[in-house]
Structure 1
Amino acid sequence: MPVLAVLSVVALAGCAEDAQGRNTDPDQVDSVEVPELGVCRQLTPDDVAMPSNATAVVECTERHTAQTYAVGQLPEELDDTDYDSGELDMFAYDTCSSKFEKFLGADESLVMRTVVSWAWFRPSEKAWDDGARWYRCDVVGGGEQSEKYVDLPDTAEGLLLGRPSDRWMVCVAGPSVSGSLKIPCSEKHDWRAVTTIKLGEPPDPYPGDRVVEVTTRDFCSDSVGAWLNYPVDYDFGYTWFHEAEWEAGNRRSVCWAMTPD
């Protein structure tokens, strides 16, 4: 084979891997078929940052950081939408988040206080141009701030049923919640996410930064005090979201208690 041809093949393989993660499976790269449900992968935060993913699957009894919990065809009304349309993100938020709660055995408040999160993927741009219109939702062992993901059990189904292990709940180590890295509560920590507050319904317009912050602060002050059994003195924190997150579908802020427990 001529050297030029060899270099071309290598370059194409490199582009596919850059676009769809490490350790790609060639059969998945531009697949138009709906992905397999229930399979596991070793994903990283860099993989999750990409719109499409073709990382090779591994046995779920082996070390893995992700598991596919929902797959399917996009609704027909999205057939003609752009590849990077916000409508796709809205569909993914509604679909993946609701199925995420059911898969883990949790409600909306609890899933906002866990270290695990979800990511969604669409076909490659080539597969999209070829007519592929599927989605894939994966549970991953970490969140937006994670530098690396933790390993998941053989299956993450029912992970948050009953009283979840501190290994899966989110805490913070640092002088304040803001700007500190989120970690599992099984590690040494200073703050624990203990409750959430719902600030609106799906069709509601964004009430504005000031209203969201003040409403969150006042609720968390009372809620954390109750969670700590009304001590004379206590510290609390809160994390709230802005208009971009509201438009993406989020309606909850999180309350944090300063506690090493």
Structure 2
Amino acid sequence: MKPVLLLCLLAVLAACSSPSPTASPTPSDAPSSSTAPPSAAADTPTSSAPAPPPRPARDGCHRLTLSQAVAPVVAGTDVPCRQKHTSETYKIGRLPLLVGGHLVAVDSPSVQSYVADTCRSTVGDHVGGSPEDLRLSMLQAVWFTPSVEEAALGADWFRCDVVALSGSGRLALLPRSTKGVLASSDRFAMCSTASPDSTTHKRVPCSARHSWTAIATVGLSGQSYPSARAASRQMDSACRSAARARAADPLDFSWSQERPSQEQWKAGQRYGICWAPAS
């Protein structure tokens, strides 16, 4: 996952001053009417601060490009879910901007971690299937927060969307609803155009043309990014067993493995992927 930048919340402080007292009229110059004349301030038009934008609609659908999907603020076009779309909102939450009675900036580490962890941990509940099914799919969680101007007006929401990578620098079209899609279909399962050690290796949904299939994931230990050799030592046995279990001939089968890239490792992916030729 590409890192997502969250924008700063601007605190708006309004200073108030009491109007200067006016002199009381003397009996000789007081108006004969019981109604006092309007003050000069009443003739001056007043303006109120604009209201914050409405919270996004949960379960809404959107037409986004890949670059818009990884942007920190909402972009793209809202569309009915019956029309073509590339993202679906599955959660709207409130930003934890008040800690210990003090405002916390939208781009503070605590807020960033909260939003990322919340969206990542809840996408599985929406799309269904097991955590392993989600790891072996092209579905991803993305999230958005208010812009600087919206946050300054009091917007305190965040939005979690699910998108599907198409493998060609674009997002795949989603069905009318992605609720439970992993539990009911392999449409967004992860496949590849070639073996992961090939220069033509490109991840694609299994609904597209492919020759290899992602069959298992293996957790990688250690705090630092593992070398290819270190990752292979941890993954070798598990990947071989997974490939053998699905092979027609347990004595004649092929398999391969793929460690996370440095960018994926930095984003929190602490597992490698086992691959086997598509049946």
Please give the per-residue CA displacement for 1:98-150, whole angstroms capped at 9, x wherever unaligned.
2110101122211111122221111112223444332111111326x542222
Unpaired runs of 5+ residues, structure 2, are 1-6, 8-50
User: Retained in 2: the 8 A contact 1:93–1:249?
Assistant: no
Unpaired runs of 5+ residues, structure 1, are 1-18, 20-29
The answer for the alignment partner of 1:156 in structure 2 is 178
Q: CA deviation at 1:194?
A: 0.9
Query: What secondary structure is seen at the aligned counterpart in 2 of 1:46?
Result: helix
- Counterpart selection for 2:271 from 239, 252, 255: 252
Query: Partners of 1:128 and 1:212 in 2: how far apart?
Result: 43
User: Retained in 2: the 8 A contact 1:89–1:248?
Assistant: no
Q: Which has the larger radius of gyration?
A: 2
The answer for the alignment partner of 2:256 in structure 1 is 237
| Between 125-134 and 217-226, the greater mean CA deviation after superposition | 125-134
Tell me the amino acid that sits aligned with residue 158 of structure 1. Answer: G
Among all aligned residue pairs of Structure 1 and Structure 2, give the percentage whose two residues are the same amino acid.
27
Tell me the amino acid that sits aligned with residue 219 of structure 2. Answer: K
Q: CA deviation at 1:31?
A: 5.2
The answer for the alignment partner of 1:172 in structure 2 is 192
- The count of corresponding residues between Structure 1 and Structure 2 is 225
The answer for the alignment partner of 2:94 in structure 1 is 73
Q: Does 1:95 pair with 2:118?
A: yes
Please give the per-residue CA displacement for 1:37-65, whole angstroms capped at 9, x wherever unaligned.
00001111011131111333111111111
Query: What secondary structure is seen at the aligned counterpart in 2 of 1:95?
Result: helix
TM-score between the two structures when normalised by the length of structure 1: 0.74
Query: Partners of 1:33 and 1:212 in 2: how far apart?
Result: 47
Q: Does 1:189 pair with 2:201?
A: no
Q: Does 1:206 pair with 2:196?
A: no
Q: CA deviation at 1:152?
A: 1.1
Query: Partners of 2:128 and 2:195 in 1: how far apart?
Result: 32
RMSD: 2.9
Query: Partners of 1:50 and 1:83 in 2: how far apart?
Result: 15
User: Retained in 2: the 8 A contact 1:142–1:149?
Assistant: yes
Query: What secondary structure is seen at the aligned counterpart in 1 of 2:183?
Result: coil
Structure 1 residues 122 and 189: CA distance shift in structure 2, 3 A: same
Structure 1 residues 218 and 160: CA distance shift in structure 2, 3 A: same
| Between 115-124 and 65-74, the greater mean CA deviation after superposition | 115-124
Structure 1 residues 98 and 178: CA distance shift in structure 2, 3 A: farther
Tell me the amino acid that sits aligned with residue 89 of structure 2. Answer: T
Structure 1 residues 56 and 168: CA distance shift in structure 2, 3 A: same
Query: Partners of 1:189 and 1:257 in 2: how far apart?
Result: 12
| Between 67-76 and 227-236, the greater mean CA deviation after superposition | 227-236
Please give the per-residue CA displacement for 1:69-115, whole angstroms capped at 9, x wherever unaligned.
01111224497555444444432332112211010112221111112
Q: CA deviation at 1:236?
A: 1.6
The answer for the alignment partner of 1:112 in structure 2 is 135
